[in-house]
Structures are given as C-alpha cells and as structure tokens.
Amino acid sequence: MAQLLPILAGTQRCCSLRRVTFLLLIALALAFFGYCYQKPRAQKLENIQAGASVAVRERHDLQDVNLPRMVYPQPQVLALPREDVLLVTPWLAPIIWEGTFNIDILNEWFRLQNTTIGLTVFAVKKNIIYLKQLLETAERHFMVGYKVNYYIFTDRPDHVPRIPLQNGRQMVILKVQSYSSWRDIFLHRMEVISNFSEQRFHREVDYLVCADGKMKFTEHVGVEILASLFGTLHPGFYGLSRNNFPYERRPQSQAQIPEDEGDFYYTGALFGGSVPEVHRLTKACYQAMMVDKNSDIDAVWLEESHLNKYLLYHKPSKVLSPEYMWNKQLLGYWGAEQVNRLLRIVTRIRLNVLGNSFQE
C-alpha cells in the first residue's frame, strides 16, 4: 500500500495533466475557428467604418516632412506683410491674401508630400459652354506643377471639350442626372460630391477644391489654399457687418443664422479641403437641404446659405480672401459699393418672395 499510493497519485496527476492538455487543445481550436470566422466580418466592419468616416490620406502637419536647405528672406516678426486687412480669424485660422505667404516654401513641402488635388466642376445644362474656358485657364493657373484630377460632373458627356493637359493631370468625366430645375441641381450637387468623396475620391486625391462651373482662372491659384477645410470670402460682402450679410434668417429653414451670429459670408463658388472634411460638409448640407425641401422651403441662396451655416459652426482651418473670387469686369463697371448695394437689394427681394411663398 505504501508503494501503491504514490503510483495512484502519479496516475491521477497524469490524468489531470492529460485533461488540462485536452481542454487547452479544445480552447485553441475554438479560438482558431473563431478567428477565421470573425476575421472576414471584422474586415467588412473596418471597410464600412472606413467608408463612413472616409478617414484616409489626411496630411496637414508641416512637421512630418524635412524641408531641404532653402534661401529666402527672413520673416519679420514686427513687420506685417499686410496692414490693410485682417490676416487671422478669431479662431486663429490664417486668411490668405496676396503677399502673406511664401509660395516657394509651400511648393517644396507639398511636392515632398506628393500631393494630388481634385477639382470638382458641375457642367450641366447650358453651363457646359463655360467648361472649355475653365479648363484652359486652370491649366495655366491652377496648381501648376502638381498632379490634378479634373472631376467633370455633366449630363452631356459628349459635349465635354478635349484639351491638352499637363503631365500628371487627367480629366474624369462623371455622368449625372439632368434635373428639370436649377433648384434640384444645386440640391444634388452637394449629394453627388458627398457620395463620390465616400466612394472614390478618398482613394485618388488628398484634397478637393469645389468650384463653380462658370469660373475662370486669371492668376495663380496654388497650394497656399489647401487646408483641412477652407472657405472663400464673398467679394460682395467681405467689408460689411454681419447685419448686412445675406444669411438665411427665417427660423423655418435649416440654414437659419440668428441676427447676432456670423463670422464672414462665404461664397458657394469656391470651397474645399481634405476629402474627409469635404465629405462631412457636403453630406451635412445635403441633409439640411432635404429637410428644407420636405418642409417646402428654399434657403435664400440655396446651397450657399447652408454652406455658411455649416462653416459658422464648423470653423474652417483656412479662409481665402475675396481676391480669389474677384470679378474685375463687374467691379470695374459698377464699383465695389454699388455691387454690394445691388446684392443686398437682391437678397431682400429674394427673402420677401420666398417668405411670402412659404406662408402661402
């Protein structure tokens, strides 16, 4: 018995060890099969989340690239580059005026980043006639030396002009529905940009610049405008008080801005930023416009009113001066004050007409 007890104890320990080993093998097998089963689902979830947030290819930190040696004038802390205009917003976003930046430094940094820019343009209905002028002037003045994708949204693909492009540039023609009214065109412009930002643009470009199809470039427009989110001061209202901005004031509209609020008035003809930020902006504006549409109301300046509401509560990281949107012919003929007065009159008329039609 004295000898048998250790043998039984050893046998019991051996059985226990085998049981533990067996259980561990079962646990490992279950873990392996669970991993194989969950991995595709996890990948699918990651893809969905990536598509929803479009959080890709964001690069806005000047410190993640080592610039080479460059020779340029020393910046003077006590000497402002411009003393006649505001150079920074209250939330410390720079306002880009001519003479306030060194384009050589910026070009060096963005080229080291291998930056690609997308320019979205809507050329629908009769506005297709302006497309050739826009593309030809963009080739001379817009992001010269950089890779650019021209995203042309049109209901007339066969009418898109074929022009020679610089190396590294391409034209992408995207067919859109031909809507019966300009109201629907403006409404779905935001929807289309939002959808393509989520589905395509985030894989192809780092920044999006959204421009009006009737624009033309007359002078340099380069990487100094690029930021996470930027808006452009409207050339007709940049010198006015907020009381004179053509904001949507009716509380029935999702674009309504109260009388005691407002920073600047931004034009809807030129805005942009990183793909994720443009996606968020356009999606929010489209959803707000759909709420208005379901309530049978139009904001006073349609998508531009919703853009101003968005940029009021989602401050842009850079603001472009009205120099980027000057209409020299209009200003030369009328003068700045006359243009401002005319725009204010038109806005009041639109508000009265839209307000009366809503009440009816």
The catalytic residue among 219, 304, 323, 337 is: 304
More confident: 229 or 47: 229
Q: Are 191 and 282 in contact (CB under 8 A)?
A: yes
Q: Are 286 and 340 in contact (CB under 8 A)?
A: no
Is 12 part of a structural domain of the chain? no
What pLDDT score does 340 carry? Answer: 54
Q: Does the pLDDT value for residue 152 go beyond 80?
A: yes
Known binding residue 304? Answer is yes
What pLDDT score does 331 carry? Answer: 46
Q: Which residues pair with 96 in a beta bridge?
A: 320
What pLDDT score does 50 carry? Answer: 40
Is 115 part of a structural domain of the chain? yes
Beta-carbon contacts of 234 under 8 Å, excluding residues fewer than 6 positions away, are 264, 265, 266, 267, 322, 325
Say how many domains are in the chain: 1
Is 177 part of a structural domain of the chain? yes
Q: Does the pLDDT value for residue 265 go beyond 80?
A: yes
Known binding residue 261? Answer is no
CATH code (residue 105): 3.90.550.10
What pLDDT score does 169 carry? Answer: 97
Per-residue pLDDT, averaged over 327-337, amounts to 51
- Summarize pLDDT for 30-55 with one digit per residue, the tens: 555 555 544 443 443 333 334 333 33
Longest dimension (CA), the chain: 119
What pLDDT score does 55 carry? Answer: 38
Known binding residue 212? Answer is yes
Catalytic-residue membership of 58: no
Is 149 part of a structural domain of the chain? yes
What pLDDT score does 42 carry? Answer: 40
- Summarize pLDDT for 232-248 with one digit per residue, the tens: 999 999 999 999 999 99
Domain that holds residue 215: 92-359
Known binding residue 188? Answer is no
Rg (CA), the chain: 29
Known binding residue 198? Answer is no
What pLDDT score does 92 carry? Answer: 97
- Summarize pLDDT for 192-210 with one digit per residue, the tens: 999 999 999 999 999 999 9
Q: Does the pLDDT value for residue 217 go beyond 60?
A: yes
Known binding residue 65? Answer is no
Q: Does the pLDDT value for residue 102 go beyond 70?
A: yes
